[in-house]
Structure formats: C-alpha cells, structure tokens
Amino acid sequence: MEKSFYELWKLGINIIKTKILFPKARLIRFPFDIRGKKYIKYGKNFTTGTGCRIEAYKFNEKEPKLKIGDNVQINDYVHFSCAESLIIGDDVLIASKVYITDLNHGSYSGAEQSKPQDIVKERRIYTKPVKIGNNVWIGENVSILSGVEVGENAILGANSVVTKNVPKNCIAVGNPARVIKVYNKSIGKWEKILK
C-alpha cells in the first residue's frame, strides 16, 4: 500500500513525539490523551492508534494501578478508565473503539445501592479490578466492565459487552458476552459450545 506524502509526514511527527514523550513505546499516534500519568505504567513496544484516552484517577483513597504489558497494540479511539486496578498482559491486540473500565458511578446490586434520584456525577465510585491475560485479541467496539478477568489467548468478538469472566483459550461474543468456542489442544481445533 502506497502512502501519501502527508501520511508519511504525519507518521514522522508521531514517531518524533513518541520518542520524546513516551521513550519505551513503539509508536503513539496523536492526539493521545493520558490522565493520571503517575498511576500508569506501560511496557516496551506499546503502540496506539489516534484519539486514544488512558486515565487513572484516585477515588476513595485508593491508589489506582493501570499497567499495560509489553508489545500491546491498541487501535483508534480506545479508552481505558481505572480507579483501582486495570492490568493488561503482554502481546494483547485491541481493535478500535474499545472501552475497558474497573469503575462504575454508583452501585446497582448488593447491600449498598444507589437511588435513581441521586445526581449521577455525585454517586460514589465503585470499583472491581479488571485483568486481561496475555495474547488476548479484543475486537472492534468491545466494552469490558468492572470485575472482569479475561484469560490468556481469549478472543472477544466485535461489539461484545463483557460483564463476566472469560476463560483462557475461548472465543466469547454478544451482549452480554458468552463463550461460543473453546480451543481443543488435543485435536488442534476450535470447538463450538453446545447449548
């Protein structure tokens, strides 16, 4: 694929800005919004698309920890939001328009529930850690919500809303996401889950 002069010029500017502002990263495409940088760690060869937003905020006296492993690639308009713990393993590939969060404005189950008339922005922030294992592939427009763990080598299909854990070596799709295939190592094939 042949690149235009403008595309090459823009890539060159992004490489220079990356080496100055994010020296361990491979390539950060700007604009790139990072908030709470002191709570965010990223590994070597980190790559982003354009318009990404990564944020870590201190709420309820908790020190947030947002960790991105080595060789992670996120594409355009990905948003990570962390108030407690959001860990992304090594070699993870994330498509565009993905949202991953460990927090929620208010509580809607359990003993302490928020009321509908409470002002949304004033509701208490509730958090549950999120962990994405190594070598996970997250498809376009996926949302991963608080309290979820995704096992290594998992695949999350486009437009999925992940509200529960996904085991390793599985394919999960849908809203809410459910496992539809599991990799059978003994025969070397993906097998459908029978319902």
What does the pLDDT look like over 131-174, one tens digit per residue? Answer: 999 999 999 999 999 999 999 999 999 999 999 999 999 999 99
Residue 1 clears pLDDT 70, i.e. is over it: no
Give the distance from CA 162 to its chain's centroid.
11
What's the whole-model pTM score?
Answer: 0.94
Query: What does the pLDDT look like over 95-110, one tens digit per residue?
Result: 999 999 999 999 898 8
- Per-residue H/E/C for the chain: CCCCHHHHHHHHHHHHHHHHHCCCCCECCCCEEEECHHHEEECCCCEECCCEEEEECCCCCCCCEEEECCCCEECCCCEEEECCEEEECCCCEECCCCEEECEEECCCCCCCCCCCCCCHHHCCEEECCEEECCCCEECCCCEECCCCEECCCCEECCCCEECCCECCCEEEEECCEEEEEEEECCCCEEEECCC
**Segment 119-126 mean pLDDT:** 90
**Segment 65-88 mean pLDDT:** 98
pLDDT value at position 94?
Answer: 98
Residue 59 clears pLDDT 90, i.e. is over it: no
Structure tokens at 185: 């190592």
Q: Which of 17, 41, 105, 168 is catalytic?
A: 105
- Give percent of the chain above pLDDT 70: 99
**Residue 105 appears among annotated catalytic residues:** yes
